[in-house]
Amino acid sequence: MSKNTITILLVIFVILIGVFVIQKSVTGPSRKSASLSELKINLEPLAVSYIQVFKQEYPDSGLFFSRQDTNWILVNEYNSKAKGDEIQKLLNDLGAVAGSVRGESEDLYPDFSITDNGALQLRLLGADNALLQHLYIGKGGPDGHSCFMRFPGSPKVYLADNNFISRFAAWNAPPFKKLPTDRWMNLNLCSLDRNSINSIKLKTPRVDYEFALATEASDDTLAAPVKKWQQLLPAKGTILEEARMRGLHSGVAGLNASGVADPSNADKFSLGKPSHSVWAGDTLGNSVLVNFSDKIDTLEQRYATVQGRNTVYRINKGAFERIFVTPFEKPKESKPQASK
């Protein structure tokens, strides 16, 4: 081969490399491989006003969400407030999902747990109840991070790169079992930022208590002032140590319900005239008031309401006692060691 031929080939090779580099710099790296380009869900999250999640034979075991202004509610849980960030993440993930075809025959549906009656169905509707998307979701993929999915009217089954069956805790769950709602509901009763709470009031059958976060000078004159909880009321009787007041603050800031109940229970178990309530305020002037009922069962659960909300919550024994019992318990006396 002559030197001229070699030179020409080298020039062509350099030109081809240059074209390749230019194309990569213009188009950028592909975010999804070609094998994941077959599944595409056309979805605008802001257009979704209603979400239905259920199995065909057991619609009552599903979840039904409705958008109200900028918030979401769980309709079949007494219109309780839902976790809007979780729903937004679901919609964003659906809009970005990708996947490859793994089957094109209805005979294979049972293998993917994606039959009409057995699949988890996800319906997204607009403000006018128009159907935006309808998905059949089957079992999870072999890697644990994917799931099988298909559209109605098409025999194609895709392996999606997101595990939606696990997100609804429906993987291997009996179809008649109600989908869990606690992961979708906002069960936090104290809407205040824990670091901003500076005042707490407790109402109990015998005594009302009031606590405030105060700024005190440090024992070290060169150190910055410190913030400590103080008991304002009562001035006599049971006076809590500062450590117990901090524990009370944690109990109030982290107060969560275990579930919700029928709003008709609002007038039961003395909830209309509560013997126990907690009020908390913050540095911005915001406040929250939670009222508690008497015990409603042998597990010593209670009902609770939050001022400004229509929901009736269920509170377990531990959450209640962290506020009204534990801070006031007498310290346990240490037993003397037996002499040897």
Cα–Cα distance list, 65 to 5, 170, 188 (Å): 71, 17, 19
Determine the Cα–Cα distance for residues 56 and 118; give it in Å rounded to an integer: 7
* Helix-strand-coil split of the chain, %, nearest 5: 25, 30, 45
pLDDT (tens digit, 9 = 90+) per residue, 208-242?
999 999 988 766 666 678 899 999 999 999 999 99
Determine the Cα–Cα distance for residues 234 and 216; give it in Å rounded to an integer: 21
Sorted by where each begins, the domain ranges of the chain are: 36-167, 197-328
Is the pLDDT score of 19 beyond 80? no
Which among 46-60, 173-187, 213-227, 318-332 has the top mean pLDDT? 318-332
Confidence of residue 156 (pLDDT cuts 50, 70, 90): very high
Alpha-helical regions (H) of the chain: 3-27, 84-96, 109-112, 164-167, 242-253, 317-324
Q: Please, are residues 321 and 295 in contact by the beta-carbon 8 Å criterion?
A: no
pTM over 0.85: no
Give percent above pLDDT 90 in the chain.
69
